[in-house]
Structures are given as structure tokens and as C-alpha cells.
Chain A
């Protein structure tokens, strides 16, 4: 009986398991135990790695890569707004939502890859600064969970069947949560730049 349920609801059980593991890691202080040990890596990436040395030595290269980072983030923002506002029935109402969600996903993946690669370079240049910033860790956490949400939860559901067969309130919840996730990634990113 349990194995049947496990097979039938494998994704839901995986989500529950991940949530339990995250809570246990927090309760047993694993995160706070790992944190001090990460400082040498952040110092190394700024002062000893080639991306850190390029980033701190050549301002023009840092500014160029940062511009690419901002453009890729802007692309993500635009794609997320176009997709999620379509799911909410605000934009592009004459285009099927399935077409929009499938059509924007590849560009989203490319923009996210560029944002992550350029983001590593940008963070390397200020590694010893961002290590101490709570907002940097919030951004990383939301970016990681947001990417997992997009690739393992939202997109598989939206691609699995016509959207008319999915509960409309669930689609609205997914769209609003997605906007909130990428708004937080963008806002915390600017917060890092402002600090």
C-alpha cells in the first residue's frame, strides 16, 4: 500500500523529504557550522583566483561583465513577467498560455546560465564583502530554490497537460510565487550593489 502511494506520489514525497532535510539541517545547526569554514574560499576567490584578480585589477572588464549580468537578469525578469502575467490572464490573452510557457523556457534557461556565470565573476571581485552580507545569502537561497521551483515543479506541471485541465487557482498561485521569487532575486541583487 505504502509503496503504491510512494510510486503514485513520488514527486510530492520528494518535496516533503527535501523540506524535512532542510528543517533538520537548520535544527541541528549544520548551516551555522559550515558558514565560518566558507570564508577562506571567498578570500581565495577574490585574492588568488584568476577571475578575482581580473575583477579587482581591471575595472572596465568588471563593469562589462556586470553589464552582461544586469542584462541577463533583465531578460529573466522580462520572460518571467511575460509568462506569469499570461498565466494570470493579464498579458497576451490572444496567445495560448501553453505556447508562451514553452516558448519562453529555452530563453529563460540561457539567460539564467549567463546570469549565474557572470554573477560568479561579479561576486569573486567582492568576495570578502559579500561573504558577510546576509542579503547575499538570501539571494543565493532564493536563486537556488527558485531555479529548482522552475525546473522541477512549475515547468513539468505546465508542460504535462493543457492548462485548461489544471486548477486555475493553482496556476495563479504558481504565477504569483514565480513573480515574487524573481522579484526577490532582482531586489536582493540590487541591494548587494547598493550596500
Chain B
């Protein structure tokens, strides 16, 4: 008896789609955070996490 779990057609398709979508969505949200930080830096000169940018 073997515990090996064979990868069939459904597994390969699921892995491919899930991996692409996961990377795409994480990249999207990271780019949104990045552009928000850039906008705050432009607006207030600097942006520090855990630091209120409205307080100079």
C-alpha cells in the first residue's frame, strides 16, 4: 500500500490556475500598497509605518 498521491489532469489544472491567480492577486495588492505609500510620500514628504504622516 502506498501513500503517494498521484497528480492527475484535475490536479495539474488546479495547481496551474491557483498558482497564477494567487501570484496575480498578491502582486495587485502589493502594487496598490506601493502606490499608496508613494502618494503619501508625495503628499507629506515622508511616510513611516506606525507613524502618523499628518504630524510633521
Contact = CB atoms under 8 A, between A and B. Distances in A.
A157 B11 contact: yes
Interface stretch (A31-39, A107-115, A176-184): A176-184
B1 interface: no
A157 B22 contact: no
Given A167-B5, A184-B25, A156 B10 contact: yes
Tier of interface size on chain B: 20 to 34
B18 A142 contact: no
Contacts of A60: none
Contact of B21 (A9, A16, A145): A145
A165 B18 contact: no
A175 B16 CA distance: 14
B17 interface: yes
Given A167-B7, A184-B28, A177 B13 contact: no
A154 B21 contact: no
Nearest to B7: A167
B12 interface: yes
Interface residues of A, number: 29
A10 interface: yes
B9 interface: yes
B55 interface: no
Contacts of B19: 173
B20 interface: yes
- Closest A-B pairs by Cβ, 10 of them: A11-B13, A177-B18, A157-B10, A12-B12, A12-B13, A177-B22, A9-B9, A11-B9, A15-B13, A180-B25
Given A170-B11, A177-B25, 19 more contacts: A9-B12, A10-B9, A14-B13, A15-B16, A149-B18, A149-B21, A153-B14, A153-B17, A166-B5, A167-B5, A167-B11, A170-B18, A173-B15, A173-B18, A173-B22, A177-B18, A181-B21, A184-B25, A184-B29
Interface of A: 8-12, 14-16, 19, 138, 142, 145, 149, 153-154, 156-157, 160, 165-167, 170, 173-174, 176-177, 180-181, 184
